[in-house]
Amino acid sequence: MSGVPEIPLSERTAPHVPVLLDEVIDALAIRQGETHVDGTYGAGGYSRAMAARGAHVIAIDRDPDAIAEGRERIAREGNDIFLVEGPFSAMETLLAEAGVGEVSGVTLDIGVSSMQLDRADRGFSFQADGPLDMRMSQSGMTAAEFLNGAEEEDIADVLYRYGEEPRSRRVARAIVAARPLSRTSELAQVVRRALGHKPHDKKDPATRAFQAIRIHLNGELEELERGLEAAEAVLAPGGRLAVVTFHSLEDRIVKQFLRARSGGDAGGSRHRPEAASTREPTFAKPAKAVRPSAGELARNPRARSATLRSAVRLAPSHKSVSARENEA
């Protein structure tokens, strides 16, 4: 252990500005006494806003730091928020264990939180040097273990699939040549050298690599797919779903899920007509996607890539209920 004194949890909370907060709260249309789920508690911004509108909030997070600090905050502020540790994909089970059935709203703020990014010891960012960790739940394989042990081809595949890095093989080759890696600054420098980064370049190419490795380690896209299905299962008829994403891979999953669940399974093209959906719609037609305003971007530059998609849960038709009863 180092000689640095331990900082109280309540004093270690990094500033966090919830993205598209007003728009999310509007989409949820909260009524007094409703139960809502915040599947990605983080620093609690959405949860506190929901509780302020009169909702009973069940908040979920898989990050032990978020849970510990959140419980301190809730005890101090006395909000109507019940905090549960776990992945949001397990919300159906977590709610059942808490004695909660259907809910009136589910909110998901996908990706890494500002609280995680701003803490060098968590290893999510190259803005400050820290250990190559990147684990949201603080369990399982670290980024260092993955990069130092994986085959070059597997590293390249992760960089291409989750970071959309066009020169993924070059970067993977450089990572393998530089092993072992243990620090975020080391990885960032390897990526920059491999891609010929110059200090005046607008975007640091290490951003794509860090995103890709983080998404892979935490299974974020698979978690999102399962989380959307879990939200569908727990929402009562008329319940509202609001999802904030931060890059195209996430947004594409949400967009396709809501399109399929609202009766538009096949996208179709000019070469092939759109196929008729065989699935009973479970959501109404989604609201138009919402992006941050110029004012919000000025206040919070991290909101620049955010997109909000929302939709309302439909009640099953009498026909589908009868069909299920006959099958039983």
- CATH number of residue 132's parent domain: 1.10.150.170
Q: What is the pLDDT of residue 319?
A: 46
With 60 as the cut, is the pLDDT of residue 168 above it?
Answer: yes
Q: Residues 232, 248: one domain?
A: yes
Q: What is the pLDDT of residues 88-145, one digit of tens each?
A: 999 999 999 999 999 999 999 998 888 888 899 999 999 999 999 999 999 999 999 9
> Do 201 and 238 belong together in one domain?
no
pLDDT confidence bin for 325, thresholds 50/70/90: very low
306 shares a domain with 241? yes
Instruction: Determine the structural domain holding residue 312 and report its residue range.
Output: 9-115+220-327
pLDDT higher than 70, residue 4: no
Are residues 203 and 142 part of one domain? yes
Among candidate residues 163, 195, 218, the one where a domain is terminated: 218
Average pLDDT estimate for 315-319: 70
Whether 4 is covered by a domain: the verdict is no
Between β-strands 103-109 and 81-85, what pairing exists: parallel, antiparallel or unpaired? Answer: unpaired
Same domain (yes/no): 129, 213: yes
Same domain, 97 and 237: yes
CATH number, domain containing residue 93:
3.40.50.150
Cα 316 from Cα 320, distance rounded (Å): 6
Domain assignment of residue 20, yes or no: yes
Find the mean pLDDT for residues 223-247.
98
Residue 188 has a pLDDT of 97
- The verdict on residue 60 lying in a domain is yes
pLDDT band at 75, cuts 50/70/90? very high
Helix residue ranges per DSSP H, 78-219: 91-97, 114-117, 143-149, 152-163, 168-178, 184-195, 206-218
Question: For helices 220-234 and 248-261, what crossing angle results, to 10°?
Answer: 30
Q: Are residue 70 and residue 26 in the same domain, yes or no?
A: yes
Region 191-195: mean pLDDT is: 96
Is the pLDDT confidence value at 45 over 90?
Answer: yes
229 belongs to a structural domain: yes
Q: How far apart are CA 64 and CA 86, in angstroms?
A: 9
Q: What is the mean pLDDT of residues 172-183?
A: 98
pLDDT at residue 152 tops 70:
yes
Task: Give domain status of residue 74, yes or no.
Answer: yes
Both 236 and 313 in a single domain? yes
Domain C-terminal end among 171, 196, 218: 218
Given a cut of 50, whether residue 323 has pLDDT beyond it is no
Is 298 part of a structural domain of the chain? Answer: yes
Nearest to 142 by CA among 113, 88, 180: 180
What was the pLDDT predicted at 265? 63
CA-wise closest residue to 282 among 317, 253, 322: 317
Our count of domains for the chain comes to 2
Q: Which of 78-87, 116-125, 159-168, 270-279 has the lowest mean pLDDT?
A: 270-279
269 and 181 housed in the same domain: no
Q: Quick one: CA dihedral 287, 289, 292, 294, positive or negative?
A: negative
- Please tell me the distance from the alpha carbon of residue 241 to that of residue 234, in angstroms, as a whole number: 11
182 and 148 share one domain: yes
Same domain flag for 236 and 106 = yes
Q: Are residue 95 and residue 30 in the same domain, yes or no?
A: yes
Model confidence, pTM: 0.87
Is 96 within a domain?
Answer: yes
- Which stretches does DSSP call E strand in the chain? 35-38, 56-61, 81-85, 103-109, 235-245, 307-312
More reliable by pLDDT, 115 or 77: 77
What is the average pLDDT across 36-45? 96
Indicate the SS3 state at residue 251: helix
- Point out the domain boundary residue: 197, 218, 239: 218
- Average pLDDT, whole number, for the chain? 89
> Does 75 map to a domain?
yes
Residue 16 banded pLDDT, cuts 50, 70, 90: low
